[in-house]
Structure 1
Amino acid sequence: MSDTNPQACSVRLQSVAKKFGDGPDVLQDINFDAVAGDFVAIIGPSGCGKSTLLRMLAGLVSQNSGQIEIDGSAPGRNSPELSYVFQEPTLLAWQRVAANVELPLILRGVPAARRAEIVQRCLRQVRLGERADAFPRQLSGGQQMRVSIARALALDPRLLLLDEPFGALDEMTRNHLNEELLSLREAASWTAFFVTHSVAEAVFLANRVIIMSANPGCIAHEVAIDLPYPRTPATREEPSFQQLAAKVSGLLRTVEEAAK
């Protein structure tokens, strides 16, 4: 969605570089602007710094040089509400589904009555309203990731960061969750950065795809995905989708071959 969304947030990275200790640069000269409401997919070879970039946007690690701004503020300094969805569901095994979704609301100090309302709404949104009393071990991998997404959305984020959340799932489940994520996006207001190794996933979800190269990590290419929203399973069969996927695949292959 390229239209500016007043409730989502803008993101700016200017000449950003990152290294750990005395090691080589992990990221170098990262320049990128995302407008409010953008869905940005990040793809590239392993070790190119995709997850590090996400962690910097979240304020979990700081850059060595350059500037990162979220609605004009540095991450962690009066930045807008954000949520982070990790590669694993990271659910508390001893807590029921509802309690897992409720946890960030407790930490935020949301009143109990309001928490219950939010938890019920978020679980309904991810089609798990009837599993509120289940334990994580009683859910499939896809259902556990739905709980993780519900927990992230409970905070009503303006920036949603997703680090390969569906990477461990089979293709059919991944496709279903991609479709559900876009349905949730239609009803909410957030800017998204989504790390993936799947070209098809990147093209299906995003309106912009960043292709990164490695050693050090930098933005090698950007592809605009001008497929209209809402996107459905039929979108994947359209010639325009397949052409865009082929374009991204070709650029990614060029980046990977250059790194050999």
Structure 2
Amino acid sequence: MPSTPLVQFASVEKRFGSGPAVLQGIDLTVAAGEFVSLIGPSGCGKSTMLRLIAGLTPVSSGKLSISEQPPGSAAPELGFVFQEPTLLPWLTVAKNVEVPLILRGFGSEERARRRERALAQVRLAEKSKAYPQQLSGGQKMRVSVARALALQPEILLLDEPFGALDEMTRDHLNEELLSIRQQQAWTAFFVTHSVAEAVFLSNRIVVLAAGPGRIHSIVEVPFAYPRTADTRQSDDFHHLVVRVSRALRSVDPTATSAP
């Protein structure tokens, strides 16, 4: 596993206004190149942690640094993939991928180069002229991922991007995501409610408790990359799913080990 610290939470607390703490006592160091999944009950602050990293909301106390800088300052490029594809229906797939590049001020030639590479990575080059309403749910999420990848991010934040998809499509996109990661190294923070998804994708799984959000435990995932559909069939994989599920149930009795 890479050892260079990239993202560091030190006693981080987050409150909104005068309300109760959403996150409290968060201590976490993530190395460059790691894939870290955040899992826990609703309201435990998983998505808030992503927003803190992205600099979309400030910490209330403690310290969060990215490459030893405050979030949103001279930090590395970040890509954000949300729960919904949030594609603009009046733009083609190609133009949707270019939106963040236009906002960053890239010229047309560089935009085209990055767009074509990103669409090729998610296997949607042939859909570049299609409109969002002509795509399946899985294809829309691929476009959303391509839009983030076009920024060539050092950090990729993914907030339950595949949660609304059927299990087969989600598994396939998980495999594609890891394949892309081999080509374009980035550090990933991945929010999910699926234990199996977290185990398949991650180097480490952070199990969060709620009320306030806090780290309950961190589980190391020992499986080497690349991971394939066969990985999911191994006894070791199933044993780890059970272990993480037990940790999750200890903080959320309603949780199951279902994908």
TM-score by length of 2: 0.96
The structural deviation recorded for 1:258 is 10
The residue number in structure 2 matching 1:3 is 2
Q: Given the alignment, which residue of 116, 127, 131 partners 2:127? A: 131
| Offset from partner CA, 1:201-221 (integer Å, 9 cap, x none) | 000000100000000000000
Following superposition of structure 1 onto structure 2, how do residues 143-162 of structure 1 map, counting pairs within 5 Å? Answer: 143-162=139-158
Separation of aligned partners in 2, 1:170 and 1:257: 24
Give unmatched runs, 5+ long, in structure 2. none
Tell me if 1:199 matches 2:191: no
| Offset from partner CA, 1:126-185 (integer Å, 9 cap, x none) | 010000000000000000000000000000000000000000000000000000000000
Q: Given the alignment, which residue of 26, 46, 55 partners 2:42? A: 46
Q: Given the alignment, which residue of 230, 236, 247 partners 1:251? A: 247
The structural deviation recorded for 1:257 is 3.5
User: Match of 2:227, SS?
Assistant: coil
The residue number in structure 1 matching 2:220 is 224
Give the letter aligned to residue 31 of structure 1: D
Give the letter aligned to residue 63 of structure 2: Q
The residue number in structure 2 matching 1:68 is 64
Give the letter aligned to residue 2 of structure 2: D
Following superposition of structure 1 onto structure 2, how do residues 147-186 of structure 1 map, counting pairs within 5 Å? Answer: 147-186=143-182
Aligned residues: 255
User: Match of 2:252, SS?
Assistant: helix
Single out whichever of 107-116 and 71-80 deviates more from structure 2: 107-116
Tell me if 1:115 matches 2:111: yes
The residue number in structure 1 matching 2:208 is 212
Q: Given the alignment, which residue of 15, 21, 24 partners 1:25? A: 21
Separation of aligned partners in 1, 2:242 and 2:201: 16
The structural deviation recorded for 1:14 is 0.2
Give the letter aligned to residue 16 of structure 1: V
TM-score by length of 1: 0.96
Runs of 4+ in 1 over 3 A off after TM superposition: none
Give unmatched runs, 5+ long, in structure 1. none
Following superposition of structure 1 onto structure 2, how do residues 79-90 of structure 1 map, counting pairs within 5 Å? Answer: 79-90=75-86
Once superposed, what is the RMSD of the aligned Cα atoms? 1.3
| CA shift in 2, pair 1:258/1:199, >3 Å | closer
User: Match of 1:10, SS?
Assistant: strand
| Offset from partner CA, 1:63-88 (integer Å, 9 cap, x none) | 10010011100100101100110000
The structural deviation recorded for 1:4 is 4.5
Separation of aligned partners in 1, 2:6 and 2:137: 32
Separation of aligned partners in 2, 1:167 and 1:258: 18
Separation of aligned partners in 2, 1:63 and 1:142: 34
Separation of aligned partners in 1, 2:179 and 2:251: 32
Separation of aligned partners in 2, 1:150 and 1:85: 9
The structural deviation recorded for 1:120 is 1.0
Give the letter aligned to residue 42 of structure 1: L
The residue number in structure 2 matching 1:236 is 232
